[in-house]
Amino acid sequence: MSVRSARPARRPARRRAVALAVTALAGAGASLAPAAQAATAAASSTSSTVSASSARSVGVAFSNSTDQQLQRTYSSLSHGCWDDDNLPPDFVAKHTSPSWGSHSCGMLTGTEGYTNYRILGTELEVRTHWNNPYSGSNAYWCEAPSGYKCAINGGAGNNANVTMTLTGGPAALKARTSAATPLRSTRVALTNDSGRSLARTGASLSHGIWSDNSLPPSLIIPSGTGIWTSESDGFMTGTEGRATYTMSGGGTVSISWNNPFAGGNSYNCSVPAGFVCDRWGGDGKNTRVDFRVRQA
């Protein structure tokens, strides 16, 4: 596990200078007309609020330098708020570098958070943590499972940026270019004739990887079709997955597929009461299956 402690740049002399400047401004304000004094006070209050809300921040750049895909399993903030109200991404493709951040959102506070990712096709997890307190040193850790390493760089200062780089992974069982045909693959097409929008709330693989590093679409509008593919990734393996969508107005649509190395393919589609899910296709080693959700 990589652990890093970075002492932020705290400058007491700067704080004394700021305090003197504020005192000088207060003296000057006493000579202003009442209306001007009120305007000055309002501007000062607004400025203080904005300054306090961004007193501490951490930008995390997470570099997945492995051949594995990652699925987020957990995110939490002990202190602070997510930048732009955005959590870390649900999915990290291999050889990509997504980023996220958090910041303080209260007077004299810092920010601290956690995010975990599962390595797809395994039960292994990568756990990350960052802490930029209002007082004291910044601290970070990135815990990687056996066979992997997670290095930490940067992270000092009140408004910090830290890079966490995941490397390693299991040895390749055989070389395969991206153009090669996998042993098993399933292309799923979901047509939404329900008259309601479908918003993805979950997507996971028990076996295999997402083709082209692409998850099922986050939104399928009425009369629209969402398409995605998963494939085997290893010797004598298949692919198995699930996608879950929430209907506008309530209700859950769940799609699952299983294309094993040995045995027959299987599928399932569950929909809320008042709706029907049709299915056709899905035979063969490298197959396409179609689902259609419609009103009963």
Q: Provide the pLDDT for residue 180.
A: 57
Q: Clarify whether residues 147 and 193 are in a common domain.
A: no
Q: Is 48 inside any structural domain?
A: no
Q: Is 27 inside any structural domain?
A: no
From the list 287, 293, 273, the residue with the least C-alpha distance to 190 is: 293
Reported residue count of the chain is 296
To the nearest 10°, the Cα dihedral for 33, 39, 41, 44? -140
* Alpha carbon 26 to its chain's center: 46
Residue 278 to residues 101, 102, 287, Cα–Cα distance (Å): 42, 43, 17
Q: Is 174 inside any structural domain?
A: no
Average of pLDDT values for 267-272? 97
Helix (H) or strand (E) run with residue 169 in it: none
Q: Provide the pLDDT for residue 251.
A: 95
Structure tokens at 97: 């570098």
Contact 28, 36 (CB under 8 A): no
Percent of the chain residues past pLDDT 90, beyond the cut: 65
Taking the C-alpha atoms of residue 37 and residue 41, their distance in angstroms, rounded to an integer, is: 6
Amino acid at 82: W
Q: Clarify whether residues 138 and 235 are in a common domain.
A: no
DSSP state of 96: B
Q: Is 41 inside any structural domain?
A: no
- pLDDT tens across 78-117, in order? 999 999 999 999 999 999 999 999 999 988 999 999 999 9
Kindly give, in sequence order, each residue whose CB lies less than 8 Å from that of residue 124, ignoring residues fewer than 6 positions away: 118, 145, 148
Q: Clarify whether residues 136 and 208 are in a common domain.
A: no
Q: Is 19 inside any structural domain?
A: no
Q: Provide the pLDDT for residue 233.
A: 87
Domain final position from 119, 138, 168: 168
Q: Clarify whether residues 220 and 146 are in a common domain.
A: no
Taking the C-alpha atoms of residue 45 and residue 40, their distance in angstroms, rounded to an integer, is: 9
Q: Clarify whether residues 237 and 158 are in a common domain.
A: no
CATH code (residue 246): 2.60.270.50
- pLDDT tens across 9-37, in order? 444 443 434 343 334 334 444 444 444 44
Q: Is 173 inside any structural domain?
A: no
Domain that holds residue 118: 2-7+54-168
Domain final position from 138, 168, 198: 168
At how many degrees (to 10) do helices 34-53 and 12-29 cross? 160
- Phi and psi at 42, nearest 5°, equal -65, -45
Q: Clarify whether residues 148 and 196 are in a common domain.
A: no
Average pLDDT, the chain: 82
Domain final position from 137, 168, 199: 168
Sort 56 into a burial class: Cβ within 10 Å, 0-12 / 13-18 / 19+: buried
Helix (H) or strand (E) run with residue 38 in it: helix 34-53
pLDDT at 140 over 70: yes
The total number of structural domains in the chain stands at 2
What is the reported pTM? 0.52
Q: Clarify whether residues 145 and 98 are in a common domain.
A: yes
DSSP state of 213: G
